[in-house]
Amino acid sequence: MASLFSWIFSSPKSCPSEEDQRCLLYNQIVQEGGQHHIAARLAELITNSGNAWPPKATHVESWPSALKPYNVVYQRIAPFLPVRESSLDDADNRRLINKTRALIAALLEEEIQIPDICETLEECSRYDSELMPMSAWLGFYSCLASLRHAYRWGVLPVVREAQNEKYLQFPRELDIPWPYIQRRVGITSPGGSLSSNSYYNLDGRREIVYSITSGMGEDHNRTELWNGLLFVEVEDKALPMYRHIAKASQFLENEDYSSTISTLRTANEELKVAFKHFYDNMNDYNLVPSLWLPYCQGFQGWTLEGIDGVSGGQNILIRTLDSFLGIRPWPTEEVEALHLPLAQRNWLNSLRTFDIRALAQKKGNEEVIQELEHMVTQLRLWRMGHMRRMQRYQVHRPERNKMTAGKSLVEEDSVQVSDDSAMVNHLKQMLSVRLKETK
């Protein structure tokens, strides 16, 4: 009886917070890294992403003092980037672009001490240096990429006067640090990526650090936020699935079929959660169709020297599914290295090399094959739904050439078509290739 009263009146144990649950999952993944080569690549993805996934970047407060002025420069130029109404006069736009670039160059020259930058980055790049943790590198990458994109376009929405440029000389203050970032993170592009512009561009409260809609309305700000936040939150939902597909690969290799099947079933349920979150939040309130293309998509482009810019296709969830399920064609190593950090590529390549569907066919277990096909079906349905939804966002913008951020300019050689039609046709062409591979 005494024990019964003790139980009734004892304080209830508090449930772990969402943050505690995340940390527990991170620790599990890192601890399991020694069990299998795919698990090792997933653990590496965590440790090279600020000890978190989605990545955890830290910003100006975590940087050495010599680098902090870059944050000052971006915050000072941010309000000058967006305009409410775009000019259709190329000469006016050229003057505006030149004015913005001159402002950025002047602020960089005023704030940045190049000898201090070189010395600091050399010290931070040493193998045993503790001056700059990986999370700080990711935040600095986001800041510098934002500055380079701001200098590249000069005005937002982007205009054809800038799109028509094939080459551009950047200020030394933006060029000198860039190779250090490329080596540390493992990318080759001269511009930003989905990682730098979305994953690494949110603070601990998941608010944007380097905004491109400063001073604009609430709809602009919300659309910009969800343009990155949606990718980040979907990765939140997908990480448990990543762990389970790594474990399923290990179980199948060891011919533990019952564990393989149950683990793949769990992974399929977790994938449903991630896709549902995507569709629930990709709506006209979070992402205003009339604002997304001019105030979000355009800034992510690059189009200099034949190099493309940021694409939603650089998100890791869909590439993980393609890689795990053997959905080809895969990007070449050269193309993927432009925008995907090395740890992300290592994770994807480990799945591609393992090729679980081919191994399942070889071993001949029908239940394993069936669970993998369920995942293929989910991916096919997502692609079909994504194609339909994205068509709403391909709006006509008279101040610019037809462009997707991830595939540069859209060419329509044979007939004259509207901007809307060209963009929709281009989108269908890109997605239909992947749809065919999942059939």
Judge if 403 and 307 occupy the same domain.
yes
Task: Specify whether 276 is located in the same domain as 378.
Answer: yes
**Does a structural domain hold residue 418?**
yes
Q: Where residue 390 falls among pLDDT bands split at 50, 70, 90?
A: confident
* Mean of pLDDT over the chain: 89
Q: Number of structural domains, the chain?
A: 2
Whether 292 and 368 map to the same domain: the answer is yes
Residue 228 in any domain: the answer is: no
pLDDT of residue 431: 46
Query: 177 and 241 in one domain?
Result: no
Q: Annotation-wise, does 339 bind a ligand?
A: no
Residue 44 lies in a domain: no
Q: Do 294 and 175 share a domain, yes or no?
A: no
Same domain, 121 and 256: no
| pLDDT given at position 436 | 53
Q: What is the pLDDT of residues 157-212, one digit of tens each?
A: 999 999 999 999 999 999 999 999 999 999 999 999 999 999 999 999 999 999 99
Per residue in 242-255, pLDDT (tens digit) is 999 999 999 999 99
User: Are 429 and 302 contained in the same domain?
Assistant: yes
CATH number at residue 343: 1.20.58.480
Residue 147 lies in a domain: yes
Same-domain pairing of 184 and 328: no
Structural domain containing residue 154: 60-199
Is residue 15 domain-resident?
A: no
Three-class SS of the chain? CHHHHHHHHCCCCCCCCHHHHHHHHHHHHHHHHHCCHHHHHHHHHHHCCCCCCCCCCCCHHHCCCCCHHHHHHHHHHHHHCECCCCCCCHHHHHHHHHHHHHHHHHHHHHHCCHHHHHHHHHHHHCCCCCCCCHHHHHHHHHHHHHHHHHHHHCCECCCHHHHCCCCCCCCHHHHCCHHHHHHHHHCCCCCCCHHHHHHCCECCCCCECCCCCCCCCHHHHHHHHHHHHHHHHHHHHHHHHHHHHHHHHHHHHCCCHHHHHHHHHHHHHHHHHHHHHHHHHCCCCCCCHHHHHHHHHHHHCCCCCCCCCCCHHHCHHHHHHHHHHCCCCCCCHHHHHHHCCHHHHHHHHHHHHHCHHHHHHHHCCHHHHHHHHHHHHHHHHHHHHHHHHHHHHCCCCCCCCCEECCCEECCCCCCCCCHHHHHHHHHHHHHHHHHHHCC
In a domain, 419, yes or no: yes
Q: Are both 352 and 428 inside the same structural domain?
A: yes
Q: Are residues 85 and 195 in the same domain?
A: yes
Is 185 found in the same domain as 266?
no
